[in-house]
Amino acid sequence: MKIKRLALLKTAFLLTVFLLPALLFAQQELKPAMDWLTFDQVRTLYKENPKPIMVFFYKAGNDSSQLMLKKAFDQKEVCLYTSAKFYSVKFDINSKTDVTFMDGKVYKKNPNKPYHDLVTLLLGNKPKAPTVLLYDDQNKGFPFVGYKDYPELLCMLVYISENVDKTSKYETWRPAYFRTFPPNSRASQIPLAVKWLSLKEALTQNTANPKGIFVTFYAKNNASSSVMLANAFSHKTVAEYLNKNFYCVRLDAQTSDTLVWDKQYINKHESGNYHELAKKMMKDKMEFPSIFYFDATNRLILNENSYLSPEALYLLSNYVVSESYKTKAFADFIKTFKFEFNDIVPREHENAEPVEKSTK
């Protein structure tokens, strides 16, 4: 059985939905523009409201730099997304302007050196333009060198803003993202591999034939939730393992449905429009995708609030099912657990490179 990617909204639509108020405002304008800030402005704003930082290093007169400014950074989705999720700075690698960086130190252009001291600090002695340097919420920097079109840029931005960098390398995330959101926007199909049940059905079946419940919460404005659906949950080996060992439930964290767990829960439509049950299970840490493993008596075993690749989800599921969590840490478990499977998720996009066979 297969489903069309109606739930996996194309990138252009999905990422604009993040910011309805900003989008409504933008519709009054002919064209949104990047909200480029200075380092001084970012340093002040960051103290009041920390969020990821994007630095675009360019070179005046450099064709690739100018093309990226005109073809990638002028796209509505990029402008709106960066405005909400990042503090954005553009900086000429040959700039002669003194800059007070985030560390409070002043960096200058030494006339005896080819590049600005800040550029050398962040990009090394041989910087290339253009380069996009993204800092996550832990101030860890990720440089992306060379020209990037706007679909690639969005992929990079989501990788950092949704904390995918905490659990996956970019070379693994990228093909998974483009399998879900192909730049050509073709309607495609993905395997409906996991047997998703309603929460009521899962509780009923777990009572009649106990084996455990797997719950995942997603948000429609969260791209990595859709990427995980199209990749990890659509991987044959992973899905078969989940179906065998759990009753699986996938819930919209913002649903208006009344849900029953240990008692009845509703959506009060408060800040964030999150459902009571989602807030309770996630302990108000609303980061998606979020997964929960419950035992045969509906007791929580463990949960994870992050994107997981097919390999990572398979590993974590085996850690739970084998009950290794009772005797060893997950880090120790993965040192000894071995498995091998091919990545069988279909690839409709020519730029979605195959994920290499994993042996762990």
* pLDDT single digits (tens) 123-137: 999 999 999 999 999
- Of the candidates 150, 156, 155, which has an alpha carbon nearest to the alpha carbon of residue 72? 150
In the chain, which segments carry CATH 3.40.30.10? 31-161, 190-359
- Give dist(CA 198, CA 196) in Å, integer: 7
* pLDDT single digits (tens) 70-119: 999 999 999 999 999 999 999 999 999 999 999 999 999 999 999 999 99
Q: Is residue 315 within 8 Å of 309, Cβ to Cβ?
A: no
pLDDT above 70 covers what percent of the chain? 84
Q: How many CB atoms lie within 10 A of CB 291?
A: 22
Calculate mean pLDDT across residues 266-278: 94
Q: Is residue 265 within 8 Å of 259, Cβ to Cβ?
A: yes
In the block, residue with structure tokens 């120790």 = 332
* pLDDT single digits (tens) 45-84: 999 999 999 999 999 999 999 999 999 999 999 999 999 9
- Give dist(CA 37, CA 95) in Å, integer: 15
pTM: 0.85
CATH code of 31-161, in short, is 3.40.30.10
Decide if pLDDT at 360 tops 60: no
What does the pLDDT read at residue 189? 63
What does the pLDDT read at residue 331? 92
Q: How confident is the model at residue 184 (pLDDT cuts 50, 70, 90)?
A: confident
What does the pLDDT read at residue 344? 47
Per CATH, domain 190-359 is 3.40.30.10: yes
Q: Is residue 232 within 8 Å of 309, Cβ to Cβ?
A: yes
Number of residues assigned to the chain: 360
Q: How confident is the model at residue 18 (pLDDT cuts 50, 70, 90)?
A: very low
